[in-house]
Amino acid sequence: MAYSEATSKPICVLIADSNRMRRQLLVSAFRRRPEFRLTSCEMQLESILAALAENHVDVMLVSSPQPSHDGDAMVVIRHVHLSQPRTAQVLLMENPDRDAVVSAFRSGAQGLFCQSHHPFQLLCRCVQAVHQGQIWIGNDHLRFLIDAVTHVPGLRVVNSQGSQLLTPREEQVVALAADGLSNREIAQELGLSEHTVKKYLFRIFEKVGVSNRVELVLYAVNHAPSRQAEWIAAASQ
């Protein structure tokens, strides 16, 4: 892709990686390309938020090379997605499994890139693509997302006779709570107010006979069969 300073603004990229050497190598590689403007920080939420406050960032690359750090990366991606929705995020991960792929895109990532499997030039194309509003994912991982769309975990809550206890909307709230979303995040996902989500949860607690979210999720997982996804429009109650 040709680049002209007269006609194009550089894409501002933030690289978040706790490995200093790897971060510096990636920054150096990008800085050789005039279509990018770089800043970097450690892969810690406080450092990332400070960098976002001090710099205009179009695309953030979040590095999670080790499976043990995947949870931290998802927390970062979700927080940035909610606070800086215009910043596109790409997760840099090695050999992600199904859960990691689905969690990344549920958390708000626009791209998933495996550095060890693809050349740097392709990473540049990935950054340009997500900056333009596109989704970047390899065919080998796309099937994980397709499977996640067509099936949801077994979270239909039933009583001992197998009768359904909750409305479709209440089931949806339970499913999102089981994914670890806060009341605020559930509200944003469903197009509801946070107060309405709280009312749903209290009503669900009463129906199921539990007192908190942890008990609710454990009950749902232990009492529910797998089923096809039933997507409900945000406006429906």
pLDDT digits (tens, 9 = 90+) for 176-196: 887 778 888 888 888 899 999
Helices 183-190 & 168-178 angle (0-180, nearest 10): 130
Q: Where in the chain is the domain with CATH 1.10.10.10?
A: 153-228
CATH 3.40.50.2300 fits 11-148, yes or no: yes
Task: Report residue 200 as tokens.
Answer: 């749903």
Which pLDDT does position 4 carry in this prediction? 43
Quickly name the fold that domain 153-228 has.
Arc Repressor Mutant, subunit A (1.10.10)
By C-alpha distance, which of 152, 125, 123 is closest to 22?
Answer: 123
Only one residue has tokens 């990366």, namely 73
DSSP string, 103-171: HHHHHT-SEEE-GGGS-HHHHHHHHHHHHTT--B--HHHHHHHHHHHHEE-S---B-TT--B-S-HHHH
| Contact (Cβ atoms closer than 8 angstroms) between residue 189 and residue 233 | no
pTM flag (> 0.85): no
How high does pLDDT run on average in the chain? 81
Q: Where in the chain is the domain with CATH 3.40.50.2300?
A: 11-148
CA–CA separation, 151 and 165 (whole Å): 20
Torsion of CA 45, 81, 95, 147, to 10 degrees: 150
CA–CA separation, 28 and 161 (whole Å): 63
Residue 32, pLDDT above cutoff 80? yes
Residue 153, pLDDT above cutoff 80? no
pLDDT tens sequence across 65-115: 665 555 688 889 989 998 899 999 999 988 778 888 888 888 889 999 987
Maximum Cα interatomic distance, the chain, rounded to a whole number of Å: 70
